[in-house]
A and B are shown apart, each in its own frame.
Chain A
Amino acid sequence: MTPLLSVKTLRKTYGAHVGCTDVSFDLFPGEVMGIVGESGSGKTTLLNCLAGHLTPDRGQVIFDTRADGPRDVLAMSEPERRMLGRTDWAFVHQHARDGLRMNVSAGGNVGERLMAVGARHYGAIRAQAADWLGRVEIDAGRIDDRPTTFSGGMQQRLQIARNLVTQPRLVFMDEPTGGLDVSVQARLLDLLRGLVRDLGLSAIVVTHDLAVVRLLAHRLMVMKDGRVVETGLTDQVLDDPQHPYTQLLVSSVLQV
């Protein structure tokens, strides 16, 4: 089976400071990979390198494209990479404000990706936007409201709808539940889990919240100081941590 995404010896430094180094892994279709670690451990740097927002110093990011099979994303031309970014890839930001256009209606936000890939029929775009709002549990009556009038949880769900409307195969998520209260988090996780399963999405989820990866991720990568210190199946890593840092991380979670 060809991996959907194959990362080889990725390294990114900021001057003398190491962002992340020596990261290699494969992600298979339908798989959800969690990346955990404390603040400053390089997980967001890694995610941004993978998604093409940052240029790594070394390494390869090989994506299994629909048209030409596995290709190194870093060697692609910018138009190709940006096209990938709005068709087969999706990026869910921690703050919905970063991923949404706050002065454009919910329908326009969801429709933007469709229009970017050439949809030019208003009725069809609107119907698809309404459908997607329904899927993320936003009332269809709010299709013409701006995201500024939405609650934090709704904004985050809208961001997810906006990203998934072009049916991407790979979703990057940066702390998707950050800044939300626990009951809203639980609903969002439930929704994400359903979408990932129904659409057969592959995803890379960066978070410091172990509960999120426990629920969402199949596999887990633990990062510290820019390096991967432990990898494995989620339950295996969380229930039987081997590396001292992972043990610390797991034992730091308050058991209610």
Chain B
Amino acid sequence: MTDYNFAYLDEQTKRMIRRALLKALAIPGYQVPFASREMPMPYGWGTGGVQVTASVLTPEDRLKVIDQGADDTTNAVSIRKFFEKTAQVATTTRTTEATVIQTRHRIPETPLGEDQILVYQVPIPEPLRFLEPRETETRRMHALEEYGLMHVKLYEDIARHGAIATAYAYPVKVAGRYVMDPSPIPKFDNPKLSDCPAIQLFGAGREQRIYALPPYTDVVSLDFEDHPFEASKAPHACALCGSGDSYLDEIVTDDAGGRMFLCSDTDYCESRHERGAA
């Protein structure tokens, strides 16, 4: 199959996206506008992540795609196939073997290394969006570092629920400057953003924004002095591998209240299983 340019996008587009990526890496947490292309998939299915992946991919790379931690869900399977077809790169489900990992809404449990790139699919890049609808105003707030409003949201959470109830897309401050939406990852994953050896790239296709965290960037989750940030998860162990410290999915098994908790990171769960069996 040679009808496609390597990794689907044409070279000029990749060049444009790489320039945006370099700028994003130079200003951690800043949202760089880019001319997002039409991709052969609907907005909201990861068009931003796919464009970023296509721009950083080389023929020697080994790609892993996860959707909510799983390698075998529709979104993950179709994006993996897309790059198998258009870039003919090797793919894997093993976190440790992958050089590029595209993810939707999770960070793998296995710690990442310096030779890896993590690409996030981002639906809404603007952390202030639902607090201040005007884009002109939010940009000015970023520029002037006026982030009081972000705490108003957290205040409302505590006033209404007694604790910070925001469970995903939990706002973070990057390198002491920009407030960033870490994409809808559970707040359990927030501590993994900070001081990570891998490059983290965020692509929002519909919103036409790219932002990034260079390796070993300081990322702090916002909180109050008397209501500190807490990386929460379901208080159970995985029903399959018995892990007590991984993020769990709750699965309803019947209509009589039966449920089980499983690792959301399928690769992590399976590799623990194999090691246990061996």
Contact = CB atoms under 8 A, between A and B. Distances in A.
Contact of A115 (B144, B152, B158, B160): B152
B114 interface: no
B146 A122 contact: no
Given A105-B156, A108-B159, A144-B160, A120 B151 contact: yes
Interface residues of B, number: 15
B148 A117 contact: yes
Nearest to B151: A115
Contact of B158 (A78, A101, A122): A122
A135 interface: no
Nearest to A122: B224
Interface of A is mostly: helix
Given A79-B144, A122-B158, A126-B159, A108 B225 contact: no
A123 interface: yes
A174 to B, nearest CB: 20
Contacts of B260: none
A121 B146 contact: no
B156 A116 contact: no
Contacts of B227: 122
Nearest to B223: A120
A112 B152 contact: yes
A168 interface: no
A79 B146 CA distance: 9
Contacts of B148: 112-113, 115-117
Interface residues of A, number: 22
A111 B155 contact: yes
B39 interface: no
Contacts of B160: 105, 144
Interface in B148-164: 148-149, 151-152, 155-156, 158-160
Contacts of A120: 151, 224-225
Given A105-B159, A108-B152, A122-B224, 12 more contacts: A104-B152, A104-B156, A108-B159, A111-B155, A112-B152, A115-B149, A117-B148, A120-B224, A121-B224, A122-B155, A126-B159, A144-B160
10 contacts: A105-B156, A105-B160, A112-B148, A115-B148, A115-B152, A120-B225, A121-B225, A121-B226, A122-B155, A143-B159
